Amino acid sequence: MQNDPDDLVGERYEVSVGPVAHGGHCVARTAPDADGRTRVLFVRHALPGERVIAEVTEGGAGSRFLRADAVRVVEASRDRVAAPCPFAGPGRCGGCDWQHATPGAQRRLKAEVIAEQLRRLAGLTPEEAGWDGSVAPHPADKLPAGEVPGWRTRIQYTVDASGRVGLRRHRSHEVEPIDRCLIAAPGVRELGVEARSWPGTASVEAVAATGSHDRQVVVTPLPGGRLPLVELDRPVSVLRVDDQGGVHRAHGRPFVRERAAGRTWRVSAGGFWQVHPAAADTLVSEVLHGLEPKPQETAIDLYCGAGLFAGALAERVRAVLGVESSRRAVADARHNLRELDNVRVEEGKVERVLPRTGITGADLVVLDPPRAGAGREVVRQVTALGPRRVAYVACDPAALARDLAFFAEHEYRSVSLRAFDFFPMTHHVECVAILERAARGR
């Protein structure tokens, strides 16, 4: 008889909490059972060094590990605080992982995760990766104790059966209704999305652009449903997502205007843009500082999105090629960079586009891949171009570490790595690694 994969859900164990792990939880191990067997738990809402009562949320007798929530704290860490958000906690909103930790503790936990991923997946110490072991907060997030930075300029709300907006619970399709998201940027909050009813709607995305007054909501009706009447507290553009995923303008502009790196950027609905208002400028500055571009050099911007890094590089080098798979993002990038005659943007998957360009070399390469990372084949193609330096912008430390190992196979190593806390209260962290070809004989 096969074990139920979730037959231990609801079981409770008193455990001592061990180190933080990638994904917003900590590792713990149960006491030995009658057969001498212990079980590994990945526990949310806990902190290293605590003793907690952990309730299993996923897993059974045959599972390699169990997922659990700390439902009661027996011995608390000095880094523990009362979660400021009333919707945070076991079984509730899954958006924030570290509401119960001080800001300094959150950054230490993120640094520990980066170090562990570097060691485990890339075989590197922080020093070998050129990292000082810290995660830098942005000055905009240095608030008085107990205040939460409202940084998230894009929020995807889910709508429950009664028409109330909310956010999904951790690893669940269930909706946690909310009346205010504390990490929402002021421009998102002022729309009043959370105060409205959204009957017949599956989801609502709210966007507040940085550097302009553009506000946008993207509404996805339930299958076969119609766009509800949208009346919000501020002027806003409204777009509708159809049953096939197409986006249609209902009112206002089909894009928002973002401001960064001294330029205005058109970003269409569904296009990628950094969600922290300070992230785009900070990352451009970090990439340019690390690459040290020279006027006669050529550069390639992979996963270029709306063209942010390509545009910054184009003012400093001879020629730039951008590559992006999203058709809407390519249209945005070409529009945003239309006045720069030394830039061209190609549409398609990076691993397919690079070979067909006929380019055999480049001095500089920027990669800003999706969360899964660039992967072995893209790294092989990049290193075959023989760039002087590579800037790798990563939103996932595990993917970054895996790709650094692939770069090492081609004798490229990280000479500088910096980490930034653009995602307070969550486990997410942004990194910028600068790579160079290793000197012979190292």
Quick one: how many helices (H) and strands (E) in the chain? Answer: 8, 22
Per-residue model confidence as pLDDT tens digits over 350-366? 999 999 999 999 999 99
Task: Confirm or deny that 324 is annotated as ligand binding.
Answer: yes
pTM, 2 dp:
0.95
**Whether CATH 3.40.640.10 fits 107-141+258-437:** no
The residue-averaged pLDDT of 16-37 equals 94
Looking at the predicted structure, is the pLDDT value of residue 147 above 80?
A: no
Partner residues linked to 434 by β-bridges: 391, 416
Looking at the predicted structure, is the pLDDT value of residue 142 above 90?
A: no
| Farthest CA pair distance, the chain | 73
Provide the residue type at 369 as one letter.
P
Contact present, 425 and 404 (Cβ < 8 Å)? no
Q: What pLDDT sits at residue 1? A: 44
Residue 129 DSSP symbol: T
Mean pLDDT value across the chain: 95
Looking at the predicted structure, is the pLDDT value of residue 143 above 90?
A: no
Looking at the predicted structure, is the pLDDT value of residue 146 above 90?
A: no
Residue 306 CA, chain-centre distance (Å), reads 17
Task: Confirm or deny that 117 is annotated as ligand binding.
Answer: no
| Residue 140 pLDDT grade (very low, low, confident, very high; cuts 50, 70, 90) | low
Pairing of strands 40-44, 66-75: parallel
Question: Which residues, in sequence order, are CB contacts of 339 under 8 Å at separation 6+?
Answer: none
Per-residue model confidence as pLDDT tens digits over 287-306? 999 999 999 999 999 999 99
Backbone angles phi, psi at 40, to 5 degrees: -90, 130
Q: Which fold has domain 12-80?
A: OB fold (Dihydrolipoamide Acetyltransferase, E2P) (2.40.50)
Looking at the predicted structure, is the pLDDT value of residue 73 above 90?
A: yes
Looking at the predicted structure, is the pLDDT value of residue 152 above 90?
A: yes
CA distances from 101 to 146, 184, 350, 381 (A): 11, 19, 39, 42
The residue-averaged pLDDT of 210-239 equals 92
Per-residue model confidence as pLDDT tens digits over 36-46? 889 999 999 99
Structure tokens at 157: 């709300």
Question: Which residues, in sequence order, are CB contacts of 244 under 8 Å at separation 6+?
Answer: none
Name the percent of the chain lying above pLDDT 90: 89
Looking at the predicted structure, is the pLDDT value of residue 230 above 70?
A: yes
**What is the DSSP code string of 167-204?**
EEBTTSS-EEE-S--TTB-HHHHTT-GGGS--TTEEEE
Per-residue model confidence as pLDDT tens digits over 39-66? 999 999 999 999 999 999 999 999 999 9
Pairwise CA distance, residues 382 & 284, whole Å:
20
Percent of residues in the chain assigned helix, strand, coil, to nearest 5: 20, 30, 50
Task: Confirm or deny that 274 is annotated as ligand binding.
Answer: yes
Q: What pLDDT sits at residue 244? A: 85
The residue-averaged pLDDT of 303-310 equals 98
| Residue 145 pLDDT grade (very low, low, confident, very high; cuts 50, 70, 90) | low
Per-residue model confidence as pLDDT tens digits over 197-224? 999 999 999 999 999 999 999 999 999 8
Residue 301 CA, chain-centre distance (Å), reads 19
The residue-averaged pLDDT of 422-436 equals 97
Catalytic residue positions?
Answer: 395
Per-residue model confidence as pLDDT tens digits over 111-125? 999 999 999 999 999
